Amino acid sequence: MANRAKSKGFSGFPAGRLACTPVPNLFFSEVLPRLDSLAEVQVTLHALWLLYRKKGYPRYLTVRDLLDDTALVAGLRAAGGEPDRLLAEGLRRAVERGTLLRLVIERDGRTQELYFANGEHGRRAVATIQAGELDVGQALAEAPAGPPPERRDVYTLYEQNVGLLTPLIAEELAEAERLYPADWLEAAFRQAVAYNRRSWKYVQRILERWAVEGRQEDEETGRGAGRPGSATAYRRGRSGRTVYER
């Protein structure tokens, strides 16, 4: 499989009951052996995961739903391409293969693509919508009228301020995005640029210092009124992991 992302290893699933996503056995016996595109694998599995977590009826996804999934975007970036392009490729392949169903709805001159799992419930929902028996106009109401605003996620910050994103760095960025709030990440990159220290290790050190000492108010220079015990401080968990407290 081309563009296979490297991994630094997985520490294993923790003990105890874990939340699980049901995937039909037919996916592993009939579909997975035929997949030759990493983008299609990533998009299909994430789509099944997101659809399972959806509430209400019918359950469908939009392109925006998928782009808002930071784990999927991180994986697509680590695969070595632009997330938007790889997402479109993965969706196209999944629809052509038949694992996902694509339905285009129109209202007042606007269109929206809806994606369903190609199972009993998904096929019934598509048929009901096409027959005019179910209104999904809210999907158009929720869709942005124009292009979405520029996304300043941690991957964009890295590429704009440090350099080319590698699979290993992408994994570290995903962990940082989970641990630290977005404004901390942007401020840390801004401070690294101000000191002309454009490296991820330097940004990490800034974040770790803030985790111990508290966030500095002056984001550009790092000098300010931040102090331990503030409302935006971190504490050490029992396992030694840094835990954010608002």
In DSSP terms, which residues pair with 101 in a beta bridge? 116
Query: What number of other Cβ atoms are within 10 A of residue 203's Cβ?
Result: 26
Segment 175-180 shows an average pLDDT of: 84
Give the whole-number percent of the chain exceeding pLDDT 90.
33
Q: What is the pTM (predicted TM-score) of this model?
A: 0.57
Residue 232 has pLDDT above 60, yes or no: no
> Where do the H-state alpha helices sit in the chain?
25-26, 38-53, 63-67, 70-78, 83-97, 120-130, 138-142, 154-161, 167-179, 182-194, 200-213
CATH for 25-142 (1.10.10.10, 2.60.40.1120, 2.40.50.100, 3.10.20.30): 1.10.10.10
Q: How far from the centroid of its chain's Cα atoms is residue 52's Cα?
A: 16
Segment 135-153 shows an average pLDDT of: 56
CATH 3.40.605.10, domain 154-244, yes or no: no
Nearest to 229 by CA among 245, 241, 240, 205: 245
Residue 244 has pLDDT above 70, yes or no: no
152 pLDDT band, cuts 50/70/90, is: low
15 pLDDT band, cuts 50/70/90, is: confident
At 73-90, the pLDDT tens digits run 888 888 877 889 999 999
**Range 31-68 burial, b when 16+ CB lie within 10 A, else e:** beeebebbbbbbbbbbbbebbeeeeeebbbbbbebbbe
At 199-229, the pLDDT tens digits run 999 999 999 888 888 875 554 444 433 333 3
Task: Cite the residue boundaries of each domain of the chain with CATH code 1.10.10.630.
Answer: 154-244
Q: Are 87 and 71 in contact (CB under 8 A)?
A: no
Residue 240 has pLDDT above 50, yes or no: no
At 184-194, the pLDDT tens digits run 888 899 899 88
Task: Cite the residue boundaries of each domain of the chain with CATH code 1.10.10.10.
Answer: 25-142
